[in-house]
Amino acid sequence: MSESRHDWTKEEILDIYNKPLMELLYEAATVHRKHHDPNTVQVSTLLSIKTGGCPEDCGYCPQAARYHTDIEGNDLMTVSHVKAQALRAKASGSSRVCMGAAWRNVKDGPEFDQVLEMVRTINKLDMEVCCTLGMLTENQAKRLAEAGLYAYNHNLDTSEDYYKDVISTRAFQDRLDTIDNVRKSNVTVCSGGIIGMGEKEEDRAGMLVALASLNPQPESVPINALVAVEGTPMEDMEPIAIWDMIRMVATTRIVMPETQVRLSAGRTQMSREGQAMCFFAGANSIFAGDKLLTTPNPDVNEDMEMLKLLGLNPQKPFIKVSQPKTVEATESEFKSLNEKPKWTRPGHTIERNEEAKQKTKLTD
């Protein structure tokens, strides 16, 4: 029987978040040990299969076409290139490959068919496959499931209240609707957010309320620290304190005890000691490799050295959920419907996003 609660209030979560640190750590570590192997950490590799040119205006993202960053865009990778990268990741100790494409939403057609073939290819390597491709429909989720997709990532980013101060090109409900579409397939859900974007503690609690209220709760929750990238609206944000990350990880662990908590972006700014405290507080997954889509990340060899130092072992694939079966394209039950869903465009203006859009493009 699941011990997860779905009726957390913001006030309850704030009380947990603001406990004396040692008490918070003890409680989180106790919950973690009850539901997970405390000496195992999943190592995942995040691969940007299509970089830059995104039409969204997310204030944290260097891939937004409207901002003037030094990100070099690339077209969709080939299946053979992705397979080579996956094999390299597997040899380095990763059990999951997460593929990200800078799209607003999935569109039926040759590119999506190519992504489906990437999913088939990686699943046949006996690795967990995750995708983050933007909003998607129920039929598209079922096509991904047929191909062998293990997880779909679609972050809430922040609380519903603060969301409108970060993004104006889509609505918070679009995120929830996409997660709901994923749940109509047998694909697991990966959804979390970012701290350090100027939000209040109440917003961090609000995000966790939204995630914990989902039934079932996400199998995976990434906790990201903002990486302030020059040219984005949030380029001047100060790095988040490690104590905030530790508190956020610990609170997430307590509120969602059975979830895999992912220590995600921002680890280059964290000491090994800080990361060790996050693992003690309940984080049991990291992304390895020198980049997280477009932002810096510790080298995989450094990570493996850190895990060895801490006595942590890389988690094997398909521990939480069994490996999906791959259905070949020729035998697929779910075909392209050439859908053109009308996802929300709220239309309000975010001043800092508009200011970043008007800035002169970066020069070498």
Q: Which of 96, 98, 183, 247 is catalytic?
A: 98
Name the active-site residue from 130, 170, 247, 278.
Answer: 130
| Whole-number Å distance between alpha carbons of 75 and 63 | 13
Catalytic residue list contains 61: yes
> Is residue 262 annotated as a catalytic residue, yes or no?
yes
Query: Which residue type does 134 have?
Result: G
Active-site residue, 98 included: yes
C-alpha distances (whole Å) from 180 to each of 40, 224, 243, 293, 321 are 30, 22, 33, 25, 19
Q: Which of 217, 284, 204, 203 is nearest to 256 (CA)?
A: 217
Kindly name the residue from 54, 120, 143, 204 that is annotated as catalytic: 54
Is 131 a residue of the active site? no
CB 121 within 8 A of CB 83: yes
Active-site position among 58, 120, 143, 183: 58
Q: Which of 170, 183, 247, 262 is catalytic?
A: 262
278 known member of a binding site: no
131 is in an annotated binding site: no
Catalytic-labelled residue, pool 33, 96, 104, 190 = 190
Specify whether 54 is catalytic: yes
Residues in the annotated binding site: 54, 58, 61, 98, 130, 190, 262
Residues in the annotated binding site for [2Fe-2S] cluster: 98, 130, 190, 262
Residues in the annotated binding site for [4Fe-4S] cluster: 54, 58, 61
Enzyme catalytic residues: 54, 58, 61, 98, 130, 190, 262
